[in-house]
């Protein structure tokens, strides 16, 4: 099953998840839909078929940011790339 389909299937059964998990699932689905729209825009604009502006990224909570790690508001980034005592690297998409 594709990731977006699996997320939609999970969101069809909200009684199985708590509020925080539902929010995380919705945010992840929004990210996947944005990446799909951006890839389509990039292909069309780089090959000269479209002059449309790039799609806007979805607004998600910082706590569920899968690109830059998880941020709980304490200033420490909790991601798989963060090291104790060092400044985490942040990359722009």
| 9 lies in the same domain as 39 | yes
Are 37 and 55 within 8 A, CB to CB?
yes
Would you say residue 7 has pLDDT above 90? yes
Q: What is the pLDDT of residue 39?
A: 93
pLDDT of residue 87: 54
- Boundary-marking domain end, from 40, 55, 70: 55
Asked if 23 and 49 sit in the same domain, the reply is yes
13: pLDDT strictly greater than 80: yes
Tell me what pLDDT residue 23 has: 93
Do residues 43 and 76 both lie within one domain? no
pTM over 0.95: no
- 71 and 88 part of one domain: yes
Q: Does one domain contain both 29 and 47?
A: yes
CA distances from 76 to 33, 71, 80, 90 (A): 29, 7, 12, 13
pLDDT in the model for residue 78: 52
Q: Which domain holds residue 12?
A: 3-55
> What are the tens digits of pLDDT across the range 38-67?
999 999 888 888 778 888 888 766 555 555
Confidence of residue 6 (pLDDT cuts 50, 70, 90): very high
Helices of type H across 1-75? 3-11, 19-46
């Amino acid at each position: 099953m594709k990731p977006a389909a699996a997320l939609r299937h999970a969101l069809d059964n909200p009684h199985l998840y708590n509020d925080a998990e539902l929010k995380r699932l919705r945010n992840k689905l929004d990210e996947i839909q944005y990446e799909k729209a951006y890839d389509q825009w990039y292909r069309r604009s780089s090959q000269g078929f479209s002059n449309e502006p790039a799609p806007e990224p979805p607004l998600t909570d910082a706590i569920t940011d899968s690109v830059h790690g998880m941020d709980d508001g304490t200033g420490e980034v909790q991601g798989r790339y963060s090291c104790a005592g060092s400044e985490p690297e942040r990359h722009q998409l």
